[in-house]
Chain A
Amino acid sequence: MLQSDRREFLKLAGMAGVTFTAGLFPGERVAAQATDFHFVQFSDTHWGYSGAANPDAEHTLAKAVATVNGLARQPDFVVFTGDLTHTTDDPKLRRERMKRFREIVSALAVKDVRFMPGEHDASLDKGEAYREFFGAPYYTFDHKGTHFIALDNVSDPAAKLGDEQLAWLAADLKQRKPDDRIIVLTHRPLFDLQPQWDWTTADGAKAIELLMPYRNVVVFYGHIHQEHHHMTGHIAHHAANSLIFALPAPGSQPKRAALAYDAATPGKGLGTRDITVADKVTLIELPVTKG
């Protein structure tokens, strides 16, 4: 995370001077609306990837599953924010990768697991194989008073949510009260994080506009293979680490090439995230393997 981003985030979140692990529900009132809970976010597992950026690619996902299974307090549920598998032009191999991915994550002790697609899963066939294995690419669910909205900004290969999904989002939000807790899960950043690297959603601004009237909105996403925090108005956006390879900080170098694997620190820059939802949202980054 760039220091300037971090300072700006802390300032906007009203948390300057506090060790950064948390983003507030900005409009939360003193009286909590729901029982505390926590969940774990996996992102960008890219099952099927093979390359120098992660010589341990065949084992990283299983190690992360074991680490989450070892948490003293098990999460209420687990979410995967896209790029479950690494892309392939071969539809048969794509399905084999999804099948094997599902087998590996079935070892999670927590059985409430929610999936979302990334462009590597869904952009070449408009989500056909993804839906066969994991169901609807966008949906909502509720947990202990928090409303979760999973958005699909990858089944359209041009990285659009599309008018149909935006109308669906608008209809869902109409049923919410202005101070409801809302957590949005998606793959790509909804805001223009780094347009020169295509780290955007083509019509993401429309989704943010729809979310703006709601005071307690937090977005969790993936795609950029690194922890990153950003505010659009009062809405916090948190990007997660990947489980395959890390990417450079936005705009820090000419190209978004994978960071080189460091044999001295395997797993560096990779991991999952434990998210506690109470009167504020607390983020704890988890390593691949607890050493």
Chain B
Amino acid sequence: MQRRVLMALLAGSALGGAARLAADQPVEIRISAKKFEFHPNKVMAKRGQPLVLVLTSEDRIHGFKMPDFGVRADIVPGQETRVPLMPDKAGSFTFFCDVFCGDGHEDMDGTLVVEA
């Protein structure tokens, strides 16, 4: 009986460790940019689940800025820009292009939705 309990506890501990390991592994989210939009322009995430944003551009240099998480990067055509991000608070957070790219630049934005 004691042996079975011990095995169950060990198994439970291993599963919990695996779950923690999964939660610690960054989730990659790919976002492409072109005049004057991000695709996707709505990104879902879970609080505490680390992310890596993989940013690419289809046409010209754009910027990616998300002030609420202190994130900013240039997105250069032909390159992947990888941006780590830890969504440690729930809510909707705007990201936008901060490298002026023409008429429509002001509308080039998107939302990161972080669920609790």
Q: Which residues of A contact B (CB under 8 A)?
A: 86-89, 119, 123-124, 154, 157-159, 195-196, 198, 202, 254-256
Contacts and interface: CB of A to CB of B under 8 A. Distances in A.
B16 interface: no
Nearest to B72: A202
Q: Name the residue in A87, A157, A256 with the highest tally of chain B Cβ atoms < 10 Å from its Cβ.
A: A157
A97 to B, nearest CB: 12
A159 B98 contact: yes
A89 B98 CA distance: 17
Contacts of A87: 100, 102-103, 105
B115 interface: no
Nearest to A194: B67
A196 B102 contact: no
B94 interface: yes
B63 interface: yes
19 contacts: A87-B105, A89-B103, A123-B100, A124-B102, A154-B100, A157-B61, A157-B99, A157-B100, A158-B63, A159-B98, A195-B67, A196-B67, A196-B68, A196-B94, A198-B65, A198-B98, A254-B94, A255-B107, A255-B109
A203 to B, nearest CB: 12
Contact of A158 (B94, B98, B103, B107): B98
B76 to A, nearest CB: 12
B94 A86 contact: no
A88 B101 CA distance: 10
Chain A: interface secondary structure?
loop
A35 B99 CA distance: 42
Q: How large is the interface on B (under 10, 10 to 19, 20 to 34, 35 or more residues)?
A: 10 to 19
Nearest to A159: B98
Contacts of A202: 98
B106 interface: yes
A119 B103 contact: no
Nearest to A254: B94
Contacts of B103: 86-89
Contacts of B38: none
A89 B102 contact: yes
Contacts of A86: 103
A276 to B, nearest CB: 33
Contacts of B63: 158
A291 B65 CA distance: 44
The 10 A-B pairs of least Cβ separation, nearest first, read: A123-B100, A195-B67, A157-B100, A119-B100, A157-B99, A87-B103, A158-B99, A196-B94, A198-B98, A89-B102
A159 B67 CA distance: 15
Interface in B47-69: 61, 63, 65, 67-68
Contacts of B102: 87-89, 124
A124 B101 CA distance: 7
A256 B98 contact: no
Contacts of A196: 67-68, 94, 96
A198 B99 contact: no
Interface in B66-98: 67-68, 74, 94, 96, 98
